[in-house]
Structure 1
Amino acid sequence: MKLSTPRWWYVRERPPMRVTRAVLTPISWIWAAVTARKIADASPVDPGVPVICVGNLTVGGVGKTPIVREIARLLKARGVEAHGLSRGYGGKLAGPARVDCTRHTAADVGDEPLMLAGDMPFWIARDRPAGAKAAAEAGAKVVVMDDGHQNPSLKKTLSLVVVDGETRNGEWPFGDGAVFPAGPMREPLKAGLARADSVVVLLPVDLPAANPELLALFEGRPVFVARLEPAAPPPTGPQVGFAGVGKPWKVERALVAAGCDLKDFAPFPDHGAYDEATLEALARRAEDFEAGLVTTEKDWVRLPAEWRARIKAWPVRARFEDEAAISAMLTAAVAS
């Protein structure tokens, strides 16, 4: 059973004696210690081609996948053969396996790899070095790894950490800095930033600028600001939306900001499968409002085939504000 992301994780100033937090804090100490030891004891493998890692410091919901897609687009525009790599979270295949959109399902390879395989050659592998080597043998000149900042098994040429830059309504990307499960952090902020070559702050299109206080945390590292923007208008007419992503409330907010006539919205756990009963319930809810159903691309690829014709996917994309600067960094990494 998958659980939804606790929204209270992202409250910056929480009561210090909250019972749930008091129970979870000792577990978070163990989590942080195990992560630190794993990284310290590792001997990273060089796959023979540059590896660009797009990771994060928190548990889901920052927008890594759109950044991976955009980096692949920028590399392709420069004639660089880039292959993607992921653990394939949520899929049953261990790999290494190249994702085939005509043969694989999200249950096989995970939702994000299936979505990205339409843009670039994409591999899934629980063993990241084996996956990177398979990509290199298949002609990859660079491997773009979706997630893996806390996975030390593969030698990284360039490590980018993506940060959710949305700080309004009392939300803070790192909460109060507590490590999972007491908070959203995969590891302490200082430790994660120490291994990062650069930070990508991802903003929604309707937020004027990044919070200067947030940017100050990354002093000493290049910081690139990217915008998550609609790749197409939302469906016309009344809509009932749903999403099973790290922060589903951001999808609801983005749909409204894009002009969607959103009548209702249902959040679901990240990467969760949609059974027939759930989809029928959503369809009945849409009928109540005489509305259509809309969801994210990531959710859409997890839908049974017969439901894809009944539900619209709303695509979004990431675009860097300073495309020339990020392109120069990627070019330098590929040439190294």
Structure 2
Amino acid sequence: MHTPGFWNRPAGWQAHLLAPLGRLYAAGTARRLAGREGVRPGPPVICVGNLTAGGTGKTPTVTALVQRLLARGRAPMILSRGHGGSLAGPVQVDARRHTAAEVGDEPLLLSAFAPAWISRDRAAGARAMAGAGAEVIVMDDGFQNPDLHKDLSIVVVDAARGFGNGHCIPAGPLREPVAVGLARADLVLSIGDAAAQAALAITAPVPRLKGALVPLPTGMDWRGLRVLAVAGIGHPQKFFDTLRGLGAEIARAEPLEDHQPYTPQLLTRLSAEAKLLGAQIVTTEKDAARMPAGFRPQVLALPVRLELDDWGPLDAALDTLGL
């Protein structure tokens, strides 16, 4: 779904009208979490989550965290619910035989960095991963899921959007009140450019990390390249802005819904429009993972990676866990 525009503006009449439902949503989250310790699967569990609906940069954060753990000599595995996939799991993702329609686009993408598992029952998934030799489990999303005990929780925030209008779903983007969520966090990571970071005020009793998503050097010269930009992620405009920043000429930008399937009809239309515009189709890594293998040669994917200003607080937290 596309997030409502009023979620990211100062609270107006829509937010005030829906605020009672937002309070009910928050109360439901609190009840679900109350008194639940969660299963301890054996290996430590690191959760990368957020307080808002929509994209904040969790997937690049998981990638960066996994690479950090690998550099420290650990053997991480990634646990995902498999949003958008048909399989319930627990099952280890195999990019050679699984499709995004089966396991979800994010697990398929993440499986290139470390063994990735999907499981709608997070506790069952973690047990299976422990049995498969995981030294540490990195959970993609699930901060509001009480099934697993979390040894380290990192809350990711989009620095430009912050916490929106401060209301809970459906009045705003929050899954729970900010103060309540941050009280359970161990680290807060805000992702965005310097101006957005400076404007974002966070009052949290835990260390704050700051980072940015940076295009991965590929040897590709984007300057002057005429593109049809397509993105089905939480906030497609960020992808379009990144392309413009690289110097690409965007003939047309097509924002899709987050995790939207690439149907044959959609792919046929995109291919025809690209030819009509004399443009190259460019998309995100996550979108490319959802496209059929036969279509991918027509597409360029722009990979991005998370870079932190200071890894110190994260390294210190990993040291505390013996990682």
In the alignment, which of 229, 254, 269 is matched to residue 214 of structure 2?
Answer: 229
Superposed displacement of residue 91, structure 1: 0.7
Matched, 1:97 2:91: yes
In the alignment, which of 12, 17, 29 is matched to residue 35 of structure 1?
Answer: 29
Report % sequence identity.
45
Paired amino acid for 1:186: R
5+ residue gaps, structure 2, are: none
Q: Which residue of 2 aligns with 1:189?
A: 178
Q: Which residue of 2 aligns with 1:59?
A: 53
Q: Which residue of 2 aligns with 1:106?
A: 100
Q: Distance in 2 between matches of 1:124 and 1:144?
A: 12
**Greater shift after overlay, 96-105 or 258-267?**
258-267
Q: Which residue of 1 aligns with 2:319?
A: 331
Q: Which residue of 2 aligns with 1:155?
A: 149
Q: Which residue of 2 aligns with 1:254?
A: 242
Q: Distance in 1 between matches of 2:237 and 2:229?
A: 11
Q: Which residue of 1 aligns with 2:164?
A: 175
5+ residue gaps, structure 1, are: 167-171
SS in 1 for 2:211: strand
Question: Would you say the 8 A contact 1:96–1:130 is kept in 2?
Answer: yes
Superposed displacement of residue 213, structure 1: 5.1
Q: Distance in 1 between matches of 2:313 and 2:32?
A: 33
Q: Which residue of 2 aligns with 1:245?
A: 233
Paired amino acid for 1:67: T
In the alignment, which of 242, 260, 269 is matched to residue 272 of structure 1?
Answer: 260
Q: Distance in 1 between matches of 2:254 and 2:103?
A: 25
Cα deviations by residue, 1:145-183 (Å, 9 ceiling, x for unpaired): 0001100110010001001112xxxxx321111111221
**Which 4+ stretches in 1 moved above 6 angstroms?**
none
- Structure 1 residues 213 and 262: CA distance shift in structure 2, 3 A: closer
Question: Would you say the 8 A contact 1:28–1:179 is kept in 2?
Answer: yes
Cα deviations by residue, 1:78-115 (Å, 9 ceiling, x for unpaired): 10011000111111111111110101111111110000
Question: Would you say the 8 A contact 1:132–1:143 is kept in 2?
Answer: yes
Aligned Cα RMSD in Å?
1.6
Cα deviations by residue, 1:102-137 (Å, 9 ceiling, x for unpaired): 011111111100000011011111111111111111
SS in 2 for 1:305: coil
Question: Would you say the 8 A contact 2:191–2:197 is kept in 1?
Answer: no
Q: Give the length in aligned residue pairs.
A: 320
Question: Would you say the 8 A contact 1:142–1:334 is kept in 2?
Answer: no
Superposed displacement of residue 285, structure 1: 2.1
Paired amino acid for 2:123: P
Q: Distance in 1 between matches of 2:167 and 2:293?
A: 40
Superposed displacement of residue 22, structure 1: 5.1
Question: Would you say the 8 A contact 1:50–1:334 is kept in 2?
Answer: no
Superposed displacement of residue 276, structure 1: 1.6
TM-score (norm 2): 0.94
Superposed displacement of residue 43, structure 1: 3.5
SS in 1 for 2:290: coil
Superposed displacement of residue 309, structure 1: 1.2
Q: Distance in 1 between matches of 2:127 and 2:150?
A: 13
Q: Distance in 1 between matches of 2:71 and 2:144?
A: 29
Q: Distance in 2 between matches of 1:293 and 1:216?
A: 38
- Structure 1 residues 23 and 285: CA distance shift in structure 2, 3 A: farther
Question: Would you say the 8 A contact 1:235–1:294 is kept in 2?
Answer: no
Paired amino acid for 1:100: D
Superposed displacement of residue 255, structure 1: 1.2
Q: Distance in 2 between matches of 1:235 and 1:261?
A: 12
SS in 1 for 2:267: helix
SS in 2 for 1:179: coil
Q: Distance in 2 between matches of 1:222 and 1:41?
A: 26
Superposed displacement of residue 5, structure 1: 2.1
